[in-house]
Copies of this chain bind each other. A is one copy, B any other.
Amino acid sequence: MKSGIVADRAELASRRDNIRKEMSKNGFDAILVSSNVNLFYTCGRIVNGFLYMPADGDAILFVKRPDNVQGSDVEHIRKPEDIAGRLAGRGCRMPERLLLEAGAMPHTEYCRLANVFPSAECADGTELLRRVRAVKTPFEQQLLKRTGAVNSEIYRMIPALYRKGMTDLDLSAAIEYEERKRGDLGIFRCFGHKMEIFKGSLLAGENASAPSPYDFALGGRGLGEALPVGLSGETIKEGTTVMVDMAGNFFGYMGDMTRVFSVGRIAQKICDAHQVCLEIQDKVVSLAKPGAVCEELYDAALSIAVRHGLEEHFMGYYQHAGFVGHGVGIEINEYPVIAPRMKTELAVGMAFALEPKMVFPETGAVGIENTWIVTEHGLECTSDCPEHIIKID
């Protein structure tokens, strides 16, 4: 299956307009978009180069590679220092207040780009772009739903992929294979230079409680010190749960989703904790109308865990995640974040994964995760797959 779904000119124009509005509101007269993620968002394609976008003029795409990009808005350059001359050649005045992606490029690269615009006051555009990208266009919502549909199809296959005696790696590899054959791009885009993981995680038994250095909802020891997160390579044991939290990246849009499977008998209190996670999901979904405040959604989630006496298991056991939901789109960790102190109000078009989870050191993790889109009337789910603990033995 071909993953290429191309954003047309009107789609790109609408995204760029949303960025321009935010720029004008904040008194910036231009932005230089440079990261792959934001070039894909603003140009519908990735180049080695830069999109220069004035708040009140036509954008210009400066391209180092590939050689074959064409268009009246395209300038081929050899190095960023060529940009100033080309702008002058097109009669563009140099910006006075310029946004650079300071949060998404190395310091060395930032200094080099800032030097291209010596008369400009440079500021960080990372947050502005993340805020705009938090609200998905109808086109993006369609892609999130398509990704959700493929993910759901694959999750429904998991019981058939399991064989007694498998390691967590064997099972994950079998799921990954199904994803890939359906056009999963394989890469897992995360915001933040310290974040790395391969396609999410499959956490079986006590490995679910192993703390990791990464700021994902749960940890896992990983296969070794080179990537200490997620599956650990051990055989899946009787009397444990297997939490599959893998986000396929189809069409450039990720969809985050978790389901729990059980092997052998699981204690009643752990099945009950899973029900509490479903209760949390229901509660947050009922509250999550446009205008709802993220920290209040988090508080509602936490208070249900506390009421059931499950606070120490909520979002980790030895180490706890400080959120219960996160935006999803081109990257796995977009805005909004459903966490304490987050004053963001939900808006129509936002998309986020909601993942109430509980961890029990000996048995494993339980809980649920779906990716939701905020509509006028409340949340719409992008996935369709049973939510109870599914026995796979």
Residues of A within 8 A of B (CB): 1-6, 35-36, 40, 44-49, 65-68, 100, 102-111, 124, 126, 169-170, 172-174, 176-177, 180-181, 183, 185-187, 189, 193-194, 196-199, 211-215, 219, 222-228, 233, 249, 251-253, 318-319, 330
Contacts and interface: CB of A to CB of B under 8 A. Distances in A.
A233 B106 contact: no
A3 B226 contact: yes
Contacts of A224: 2-6, 185, 251-252
A223 B44 contact: no
Given A65-B211, A226-B253, 14 more contacts: A2-B224, A4-B222, A6-B225, A40-B226, A48-B215, A65-B212, A65-B214, A65-B215, A66-B211, A67-B319, A103-B107, A105-B107, A169-B183, A185-B226
A64 to B, nearest CB: 8
Nearest to A66: B211
Contacts of A227: 3, 46, 185-187, 252
Contacts of A214: 48, 65
Contacts of A45: 225, 228
Nearest to A316: B67
Contacts of A100: 107
A48 B215 CA distance: 9
A104 B106 contact: yes
A148 to B, nearest CB: 16
B104 A225 contact: no
Q: Tell me what chain A mostly uses at the interface: helix, strand, loop, or mixed.
A: loop
B185 A48 contact: no
A382 B18 CA distance: 52
Given A5-B224, A104-B193, A193-B35, A219 B66 contact: yes
A330 B226 CA distance: 9
A46 B213 contact: yes
13 contacts: A6-B225, A40-B226, A65-B212, A65-B215, A68-B211, A104-B106, A105-B193, A107-B111, A169-B183, A170-B181, A172-B180, A185-B226, A186-B227
B193 A181 contact: no
Nearest to A181: B173
A335 to B, nearest CB: 16
Nearest to A228: B46
A213 B107 contact: no
Contacts of A177: 173-174, 176-177, 180
B66 A212 contact: yes
A4 to B, nearest CB: 3
Contacts of A48: 194, 213-215
Nearest to A68: B211
Nearest to A179: B173
A3 B252 contact: no
Contact of A46 (B4, B105, B176, B225): B225
5 smallest beta-carbon distances between A and B, as pairs: A226-B252, A4-B224, A186-B198, A66-B211, A107-B110
Given A226-B185, A252-B224, A106 B108 contact: no
Given A104-B193, A177-B177, A224-B251, A186 B169 contact: no
Contacts of A252: 224-227
